[in-house]
């Protein structure tokens, strides 16, 4: 992994400026998802109560995580599932490879798992001679594009139909002039089906792991996880330890929230409870930490572990919609990415918390009530205290701090600012490289007299200071 600082604002500017199509569509498509979410959420009278319940179940589970993880592992083993423990991404990938190697697996089909993305598992396995096929359409598009997913739920949402028609023409031989979504989806389906039949193993993630039963729940819309698991003789599921919920009945809360928040439908097409291997096959799960217990110990940020990866905060985020997910240079983008990524690497992701207008919409849509916007501000405080602010900001704030501390300095600065704006030529004010305000916005005019001057003249004849 590179530790070069991610220049998220610059990347976002490129996303906007590439043409008049991508950013506009990206914004509109995701806004439409947000609107569908509002429609289905408003049909449930107890929606806000459900959010509170979900949040409390997750908080309870996370504060008793040791007990629930062990209970889950115990019960899973009783069901004939082989349980593995991975502390790091490297552990996770090594364990997967060892299982595959011991079964002479050469061809693997998998459905989407953000944890496997976190661990950068695909390149690890490919380097070791495993042919890995993403089976979910969005992930497959990203795999063929050689890009990371740009969204948790809709990994290729930053690409247009035209982009995909071109990509598929190149990679799977479709007609480059046919940009019809049904045609393209059908073509990929026909391309993928034989791979399911050939694969010696399948991999999934999990949306929820139920401690009392030792079973895990996978929610999908395309059914590829189920198809893979129904055919291959070996099923490996990667599960982050924060996925625990205590009881099956808790699903009644989370399933109602998940798909409504994510894509604005009542439920995903498939909600599958995996409760043990089919006869004559093997099922393995890898319970993975990868930074989770570290985050659980961070007083200000532990509640981010409540996240159920619905992506609602991304869909609603006006900054994310204009930036595209790849701009964040991380597995997780958008508001949830801003608060998760720095816990992995404070240097690389130090500018992410500043890529927010702090509008607070993310906090209000989050189905498990993570105070995302508050955590963004708290990460800014961390970056500021550790002197990881962008240099320009640091200097500016030092000066501003002094100006606001002393009333007379403030008055002088006001006067100087007014003078500078009055006499500076437009060419300087609207200089394309010097002034980030004036490139696309007219500057406000300093008034001839401040409110305070007016007040002294019109209300208070004898100033005290």
Partner 1 sequence: MKVALFIPCYIDALYPKVGIATLELLERLGVEVDYPLNQTCCGQPLGNEGDQKNAAAAERLFVDNFKGYDYIVGPAGSCVKHVRHHLDAIEQTTDVQSVRKNTYELVEFLHDILKLRDFSNVTFSHRVAVHNSCSSIRGLQLASCSEVMGPRWNKTEALLERVKGLELVHIDRPDECCGFGGTFAVTDEAVSAKMGLDKVRDYERHGIEYVVSPDMSCLMHQEGVSKMQQMPIQFVHIAQVLNQGPF
Binding-site size, partner 1 (CB under 8 A): 84
Tell whether residue 91 is a contact of partner 1 (CB under 8 A): no
Please state, as a whole number, how many other Cβ atoms lie within 10 Å of the Cβ of residue 75.
19
Query: Least separation, in Å, of the C-beta of 46 and partner 1?
Result: 9
Query: Least separation, in Å, of the C-beta of 220 and partner 1?
Result: 26
What residues from 300 to 359 belong to the interface with partner 1 (CB under 8 A)?
A: 316, 318-319, 322-323, 353-359
- The interface region with partner 1, picked from 6-14, 58-66, 137-145, 264-272 by CB under 8 A, is 6-14
What residues from 365 to 394 belong to the interface with partner 1 (CB under 8 A)?
A: 365, 373, 377-385, 389-390, 392-393
Query: Least separation, in Å, of the C-beta of 19 and partner 1?
Result: 13
What residues from 214 to 233 belong to the interface with partner 1 (CB under 8 A)?
A: none
Contacts of 462 (CB under 8 A, 6+ apart): none
- The interface region with partner 1, picked from 95-103, 210-218, 303-311, 363-371 by CB under 8 A, is 363-371
Query: Least separation, in Å, of the C-beta of 88 and partner 1?
Result: 30
Query: Least separation, in Å, of the C-beta of 191 and partner 1?
Result: 37
Q: Measured from the CB atom, is 279 or 459 closer to partner 1?
A: 459
Distance CA 290, CA 294 (A): 9
Contacts of 424 (CB under 8 A, 6+ apart): none
Q: Measured from the CB atom, is 235 or 369 closer to partner 1?
A: 369
Tell whether residue 258 is a contact of partner 1 (CB under 8 A): no
Q: Measured from the CB atom, is 238 or 361 closer to partner 1?
A: 361
Query: Least separation, in Å, of the C-beta of 426 and partner 1?
Result: 13
Q: Which of 16, 25, 144, 169 binds partner 1 (CB under 8 A)?
A: 16
What residues from 435 to 464 belong to the interface with partner 1 (CB under 8 A)?
A: 436-437, 439-447, 449-456, 459-460, 463-464
Instruction: Output Rg (C-alpha) for the chain, integer angstroms.
Output: 26
Distance CA 90, CA 1 (A): 12
Residue 145 backbone class (left: φ over 0; alpha: ψ -120 to 50; beta: rest):
alpha
Query: Least separation, in Å, of the C-beta of 158 and partner 1?
Result: 15
The rounded Cα 435 to chain-centroid distance in angstroms is 32
Instruction: For residue 376, count CB atoms less than 10 angstroms from its CB and return exposed for 0-12, middle for 13-18, buried for 19 or more.
Output: buried
Tell whether residue 434 is a contact of partner 1 (CB under 8 A): no
Distance CA 185, CA 457 (A): 72
Query: Least separation, in Å, of the C-beta of 312 and partner 1?
Result: 9
Give me the 391-430 binding string for partner 1, x by CB under 8 A, dash otherwise: -xx--xxx-xxxxxxxx--x---x--xx------------
What residues from 39 to 58 belong to the interface with partner 1 (CB under 8 A)?
A: 41-42, 44, 47-48
- The interface region with partner 1, picked from 192-200, 230-238, 339-347, 360-368 by CB under 8 A, is 360-368
Query: Least separation, in Å, of the C-beta of 42 and partner 1?
Result: 5
């Amino acid at each position: 992994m590179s530790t070069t600082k991610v220049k998220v604002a610059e990347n976002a500017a490129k996303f906007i400026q590439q043409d008049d199509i991508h950013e506009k569509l990206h914004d509109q498509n995701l806004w439409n998802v947000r609107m569908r979410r509002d429609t289905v959420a408003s049909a449930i009278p107890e929606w806000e109560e459900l959010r509170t319940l979900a949040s409390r179940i997750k908080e309870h589970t996370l504060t008793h995580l040791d007990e629930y993880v062990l209970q889950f592992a115990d019960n899973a083993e009783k069901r004939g599932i082989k349980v593995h423990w991975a502390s790091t991404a490297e552990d996770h990938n090594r364990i997967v490879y060892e299982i595959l190697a011991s079964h002479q697996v050469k061809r693997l089909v998998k459905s989407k798992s953000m944890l496997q993305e976190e661990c950068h598992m695909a390149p690890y396995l490919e380097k070791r001679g495993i042919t890995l096929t993403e089976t979910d359409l969005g992930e497959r598009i990203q795999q063929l594009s050689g890009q990371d997913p740009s969204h948790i739920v809709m990994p290729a949402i930053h690409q247009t139909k035209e982009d995909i028609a071109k990509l598929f023409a190149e990679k799977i031989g479709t007609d480059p002039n046919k940009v019809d979504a049904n045609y393209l989806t059908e073509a990929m389906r026909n391309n993928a089906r034989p791979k399911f039949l050939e694969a010696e193993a399948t991999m999934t993630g999990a949306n929820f792991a139920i401690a009392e039963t030792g079973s895990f729940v996978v929610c999908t819309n395309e059914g590829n996880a189920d198809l893979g698991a129904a055919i291959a003789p070996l099923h490996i599921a990667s599960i982050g330890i924060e996925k625990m919920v205590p009881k099956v009945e808790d699903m009644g809360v989370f399933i109602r929230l998940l798909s409504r928040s994510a894509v604005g439908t009542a439920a995903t097409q498939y909600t599958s409870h995996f409760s043990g291997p089919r006869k004559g096959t093997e099922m393995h799960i890898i319970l993975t930490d990868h930074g989770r217990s570290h985050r659980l110990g961070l007083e200000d940020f532990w509640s981010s572990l409540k996240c159920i990866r619905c992506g609602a905060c991304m869909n609603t985020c006006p900054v994310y919609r204009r930036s595209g997910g790849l701009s964040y240079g991380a597995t997780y983008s958008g508001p949830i990415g801003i608060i998760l990524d720095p816990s992995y690497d404070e240097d690389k992701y130090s500018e992410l918390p500043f890529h927010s207008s702090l509008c607070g919409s993310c906090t209000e849509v989050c189905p498990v009530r993570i105070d995302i916007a508050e955590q963004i501000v708290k990460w800014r405080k961390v970056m500021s205290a550790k002197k990881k602010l962008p240099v320009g900001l640091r200097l500016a704030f030092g000066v501003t701090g002094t100006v606001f501390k002393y009333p007379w300095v403030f008055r002088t600065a006001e006067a100087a600012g007014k003078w500078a704006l009055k006499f500076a030529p437009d060419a300087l004010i609207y200089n394309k490289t010097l002034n980030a305000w004036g490139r696309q916005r007219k500057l406000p005019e300093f008034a001839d007299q401040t409110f305070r001057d007016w007040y002294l003249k019109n209300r208070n004849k004898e100033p005290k200071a």
